[in-house]
Amino acid sequence: MAAAAVDSAMEVVPALAEEAAPEAAGLSCLVNLPGEVLEYILCSGSLTAADIGRVSSTCRRLRELCQSSGKVWKEQFRVRWPSLMKHYSPTDYVNWLEEYKVRQKAGLEARKIVASFSKRFFSEHVPCNGFSDIENLEGPEIFFEDELVCILNMEGRKALTWKYYAKKILYYLRQQKILNNLKAFLQQPDDYESYLEGAVYIDQYCNPLSDISLKDIQAQIDSIVELVCKTLRGINCRHPSLGFKAGESSMIMEIELQSQVLDAMNYVLYDQLKFKGNRMDYYNALNLYMHQVLIRRTGIPISMSLLYLTIARQLGVPLEPVNFPSHFLLRWCQGAEGATLDIFDYIYIDAFGKGKQLTVKECEYLIGQHVTAALYGVVNVKKVLQRMVGNLLSLGKREGIDQSYQLLRDSLDLYLAMYPDQVQLLLLQARLYFHLGIWPEKSFCLVLKVLDILQHIQTLDPGQHGAVGYLVQHTLEHIERKKEEVGVEVKLRSDEKHRDVCYSIGLIMKHKRYGYNCVIYGWDPTCMMGHEWIRNMNVHSLPHGHHQPFYNVLVEDGSCRYAAQENLEYNVEPQEISHPDVGRYFSEFTGTHYIPNAELEIRYPEDLEFVYETVQNIYSAKKENIDE
């Protein structure tokens, strides 16, 4: 009977939502149902928010069921934005109708801003103050971020430009939040020793689009601790560490009991779970990210040491970090409590080398040099993080293919957050902004990021006058050039000077010599690079030299190149090009070619028609041959 009543009512509700008068035919049938049945119907998922709004206006009983803080509007919110529910406590009073309205408004505002970015920043990197609109948004930031995530998760190969800028905005928002958290963390007193927390902030900042949290990483470490306890129980079933509760900071003083913990740890980490130092791919940034160390079960000395240290301390072994040159270590005190100790009263642990325990002489043998006693000393959290970020900075400087220098930019931000007066790094940051062309939206504005950095450098070290003066001059020259720019350059294929151009933007090409796949996003009737580039690239050795069309292409390896027409050919098996800047120029991938976004089409208004003709001739002919 109840099921029949529900089925009957489900048929009435849509009709009722269309009726304005409460005397509608199905009303009495609906409102006479038990409250639980009515609530079940209204939460069934078949009604939209607009439907609920209309239903609630029909009579007092339905209005009471659809009260703003009730289950009906909560279900509407949950179905529409499920990922947001984790931010609410079951015990909190929430006006779900109001939350729904605020989230809806935030979503519309987010889409409006994302849509504006392509037009505003197509010709250059998003500038330093390009995110000012976002910073001034009203409403919870989590709602805005959630809408950006929804855009990124849109299915299919469409809306590429929206996804491109949504990703940039989300990247910026999360990094700002993480950087603020890191700065607050660094203000903690020196005896605050949460090495793992600091390492997670670094991980989060360099991977802001990944779902990384201290809680999740700690949970993974806790599961390792449980395995160690299981092994430890087999060694000593009465070991005091087995009685520790989660979150306790108790320490074991007996060396023999500490040794049993370390033996159990070494077995679990290196024999059972197969953790190991990454000797084969040492210079990979993933080795420094704690979530990746846990996933891949490999890292470099400092990341492996932090994992080892965290587990040992949870089990009562007071290991300490040692900022040893070339190879980060941990030290384990063997001396009596309260005694005067020197470096020979410690055993040094190499977590990178499967927990091997070393003497002072063996430590020196490890790095092949004698070092002073000071380098065996313990370091605080800030020094450990400095070394981690310093490693990332070194890797960022080594980047070759990644022309956005994202790792270098991220590591510079992190280092300068800890040590804001590092003159050489400030200079490097200024040069990097200059090289990448990351300028503020209004270039003539006096509040330029680059000029701010340079002014700060000049204050810190007047001896850098020459380098600062050079960069200031070029920054001001850039501002003057920006003032003189008029409109966009439009290239028409029908123009006589473009008669030799054979290919068009959006086509998937293959390089004849190097074999890479790429997509064209721009072209010139002849080579527009300077004499030095032409000489260095040996363009004169080509049969047609520099007097032929050249194409700007996005390459599948993430690079951007400038290729001669005679070196390119159609790719008979077109595929998506996994380049980070594809969305900057194209709105959709059709399976055979890319469709330019509005900004690129303005610059090449006649190319799309040519692309359609080419695709029809090349790929349709191929399909016919296969069918035959």
Give the mean pLDDT of 156-174. 92
**How many alpha carbons fall within 13 Å on the CB side of residue 234?**
10
- Does residue 563 lie in a domain region? yes
CB 596, CB 609: distance < 8 Å? no
- More confident of the two residues 105 and 37: 105
Q: What backbone phi and psi angles, to 5 degrees, belong to 554?
A: -95, 125
Lowest-confidence region among 44-58, 173-187, 198-212, 549-563: 44-58
Give the mean pLDDT of 240-248. 82
Instruction: Name the domain boundary from 19, 49, 80.
Output: 80
Q: How many angstroms separate the CA atoms of 406 and 304, rounded?
A: 24
Give the mean pLDDT of 103-111. 93
Q: Are residues 480 and 595 located together in one domain of the fold? A: no
What is the number of domains present in the chain? 5
Q: Is the pLDDT of residue 7 over 80?
A: no
- In this prediction, residue 17 has a pLDDT band, given cuts at 50, 70 and 90, of very low
Percent of the chain surpassing pLDDT 90: 61
Q: Are residues 516 and 469 located together in one domain of the fold? A: no
Q: Are residues 264 and 345 located together in one domain of the fold? A: yes
Q: Domain holding 602: CATH number?
A: 2.30.30.390
Q: Are residues 129 and 217 located together in one domain of the fold? A: no
- Does residue 206 lie in a domain region? no
Q: How many angstroms separate the CA atoms of 553 and 600, rounded?
A: 14
Q: How many angstroms separate the CA atoms of 471 and 466, rounded?
A: 9
Q: Are residues 75 and 102 located together in one domain of the fold? A: no
DSSP 465: H
Lowest-confidence region among 413-417, 438-442, 498-502: 438-442
Structure tokens belonging to residue 262 = 């370390």
Q: Given this model, what pLDDT does residue 146 score?
A: 94
Q: Which residues contact 566 (CB under 8 A, 6 or more apart)?
A: 512, 542, 543, 544, 548
Q: Is the pLDDT of residue 89 over 80?
A: yes
The rounded mean pLDDT for the chain is 85
CB 400, CB 433: distance < 8 Å? no
Structure tokens belonging to residue 208 = 């802001």
> H or E segment at 365?
helix 360-367
Q: Given this model, what pLDDT does residue 9 score?
A: 42
- Does residue 9 lie in a domain region? no
- More confident of the two residues 41 and 88: 88
Handedness of CA 36, 41, 47, 52 (dihedral sign): negative
Closest CA to 522 of 550, 488, 487: 550
Task: Name, of 428-437, 448-457, 469-478, 526-535, the range with top average pLDDT.
Answer: 526-535
Lowest-confidence region among 432-446, 499-513, 610-624: 432-446
Q: Is the pLDDT of residue 238 over 80?
A: yes
Structure tokens belonging to residue 494 = 């029908």
- Does residue 106 lie in a domain region? yes
Q: Are residues 512 and 579 located together in one domain of the fold? A: yes
Q: Are residues 361 and 248 located together in one domain of the fold? A: yes
Give the mean pLDDT of 152-162. 91
Instruction: Name the domain boundary from 140, 170, 187.
Output: 187
Task: Name, of 58-67, 190-199, 447-456, 529-538, the range with top average pLDDT.
Answer: 529-538
Percent of the chain surpassing pLDDT 70: 82
Measured from the Cβ of residue 389, the count of other Cβ atoms closer than 10 Å reads 26
- Does residue 478 lie in a domain region? yes
> H or E segment at 449?
helix 449-460
Structure tokens belonging to residue 538 = 């040996």
Q: Are residues 580 and 506 located together in one domain of the fold? A: yes
Instruction: Output the CA–CA distances (angstroms, integers) from residue 18 to 53, 59, 247, 586, in the order listed.
Output: 11, 14, 57, 42
Q: How many angstroms separate the CA atoms of 520 and 510, rounded?
A: 10
Q: Is the pLDDT of residue 99 over 60?
A: yes
CB 609, CB 187: distance < 8 Å? no
The neighbouring-strand residues paired with 509 are 518, 570
Q: Given this model, what pLDDT does residue 122 score?
A: 81
Query: What does pTM read for this prediction?
Result: 0.82
Structure tokens belonging to residue 585 = 């120029």
CB 352, CB 300: distance < 8 Å? yes
Q: What is the pLDDT of residues 265-312, one digit of tens each?
A: 999 999 999 999 999 999 999 999 999 999 999 999 999 999 999 999
Q: Are residues 525 and 459 located together in one domain of the fold? A: no
Q: Given this model, what pLDDT does residue 66 score?
A: 86
**SS3 sequence of 183-221:** HHHHCCCCCCCCHHHHHHHHHHHHCCCCCCCHHHHHHHH
- Does residue 85 lie in a domain region? no
Closest CA to 305 of 361, 214, 378: 378
> Domain range holding 64?
32-80
Q: Is the pLDDT of residue 351 over 90?
A: yes
Q: Given this model, what pLDDT does residue 15 score?
A: 45
Distance of CA 491 to the CA centre of its chain: 36
Q: Are residues 474 and 505 located together in one domain of the fold? A: no
Q: Given this model, what pLDDT does residue 437 score?
A: 62
- Does residue 24 lie in a domain region? no
Q: Are residues 502 and 482 located together in one domain of the fold? A: no
Give the mean pLDDT of 343-362. 95
Q: Are residues 231 and 372 located together in one domain of the fold? A: yes
- Does residue 216 lie in a domain region? yes
